[in-house]
Structure 1
Amino acid sequence: MAYFRKLPSGKWQATVRTTDGRKITRTDPLKTVVKKWATDTEAAIARGKWRDPRKTHMTVGQWFDTWLPVHRVEAETERANEGSWRLHLKNTFQDIELDDLTKVEVEAWVKERIDAGIGHAAIRRALNLLKAGIEAAVDNEYVDKNVARKVQPPAGVNGPPEWFEPHEVVAIVKEMRKRGWEAMAVMTSVMVWSGLRWGEAAALNIEDIDFDRNTVSITHTLTQGGKDKDYPKNDASVGEVPCPSWVIAEIRELVGERTTGRLFTTRRQARNLSGGNWRRDWDDVLLAAKVSPYHPHVCRHTCASWLVQAGVPLYEVKRQLRHASIQTTERYAHLSPELHDPVRGAWEGLAHQWRTAGHQIPENNP
């Protein structure tokens, strides 16, 4: 119930309580003005439509400048969020007022990104950030609803994963050794043959290598900034995977007499690797080796692609790469040499039935 009083100045003041118990007031020389304000405000509060006038006219850019620094996420996610905002969202949305943003504008942004050839994963990541940011604005009563909540991300993936041909890997490793970068060459072999992510390979300690059983244990990872993270990407990422004996032999030669400590470090100061510095060296090597300029993560795709082409069942590939879902592994299914065998086998059986029934079907083309 609104409360009215006449101030010593002669003006009238109305006081209304919000649902969380806060008092809000309006002062005016005319009592009719404050009474109307109190009635309208109480009705808006009852409908859940009231917002603090101090929070109106805030742009999406102003809100994200406020929200992103206090949004609690891991360092790697924080870096990715900053990149998504700066590269994909800022130019389009920064000057639009939160109140004026519409679902149609967000959908138009998704289409524009797709038409521009931006990767589907990057669009989905940026869209999820926008949804989370607007949802936080709703929670803080800057807007009534999240207009981006039901906007659909691009469907599916951009296509089959990229992967290196064997001769390309040979050229890459050869160029690294030509430069005297033996540790980088061995690390590349580990990623290509065992399917480790860059952060997992960079975080390996000598103690993680079982030289007798030819296996590698993944228990933690390294961030792009070179910081240890005590847990890998997900629960499925933890585990032990086999590594070819020739790669284990390379590791043994690399570590020499050492029995503990980080397996791969910077060349000069023996510190944790930095993703940015490692990537610059990687790009230089690929350019000099005249091979496809792929991201280091393509080493992991290469491992899966080679295994599938060699006839390894998808379930075993899933276990090797430690995918959380078989659906991720199925991205490589098209490379299987036996992919269409069940269909061809069914055709053969059906063709036999047709011939038995008197239909003319050539023997070599059922």
Structure 2
Amino acid sequence: MDFTLTEERQMLQDGLRRMLADKVDPKAVARGDTAWSTETWEALAEMGVIGALFSEDDGGFGGAGFDLMVVFEEMGRAGAPEPLMETLIAGGLIAELGSDAQKAHLDAVIGGAVQLAFAHSEPGARFDLERVATEARQDGDGWILTGRKSVVANGGEADYIVVSARVSGNTGDRDGLALFLVPKGTEGLDLRDYPLTGGGRGAEIAMEDMRLPADALLGEAGHAFPAIERANARAVAAQTAEALGLMERIKDLTADYLQQRTQFDKPLIKFQALAFRMADVLIEIEQARSAVINLCGHLDADRETRELHVSATKQLVGETAKLVVEESIQMHGGIGITQEYDLAHFARRLTMVEHRFGDALFHLGRFSRLRMA
């Protein structure tokens, strides 16, 4: 098979890599000066990068798995914390389930003027998409939501938050879920914002009898789980592509260090033990790349096939990420964990990436269950 990028994707990759290298300062990200750079976000929108996450029918120009891979690998290579992931998930749910009025927001999203977040994870849910305790009950023509959401990335910055809830009276795991488009500042929405390790910000959200109008509902009440699962699959593809970019950057930093640092008048890379360890890192990264390519090519497959690739890829990339972080820091020595050196930021961000949307152990178990089903 030919995995060469199309001319359009190659142009997008080259332009995005140059722009991010110029705009993103890993040291500023590591200090947490801001949640993310407004200047970088505007540049992403101007380049059309946000539009690459959506199909032409939704106002973009991409949306395929390999479009996601190109964009998010470069975001990882730069260590950029801009909230493209949240835009991908929440925007995708609006595009799939939203009414015409709700979809009208996508033009502003793609233009970079409107920020989105997705509030699904809850305390105690771990990584299980089906465990939602937040309750939505009908009240006349509207809805009342009560519950809590945890680690909502970009929640404090978002203009709209897509919130999941279980329709009152429905105790099923997959059945009974609904999604709501909640504007920032809605009465009854209590939000606590905080910095995330590796860059960006998250939020804890509490909803106490939060009233929403009928037109806040995305799609049909009680039937949102398939859309959530599809959005999660695309997010895992994007997240593992970002991990690839982070691993490539860490590999380059480590290789440069081994070539420049000397011992007994020789570069460290000349010592066989270190050369073999570096070779192992290179091989594992290439294996992870093959898995991500495989997943991106199966995002539109049937559910069983798609979800098998989701868990297999997330498990493999998670294990590889752990290896790359540990080996790179050990081969650097003490300098590898200092705040002033770029490796520390990329290692932290890669470690956090491994834990989002399910870590390696969770997806190993999920893969086994899917295979036995």
**Normalized against structure 1, the TM-score is what?**
0.26
Q: Which has the higher Rg, Structure 1 or Structure 2?
A: 1
TM-score normalised to the size of structure 2? Answer: 0.25
The structure with higher relative contact order (CA 8 Å, sep 6+) is: 2
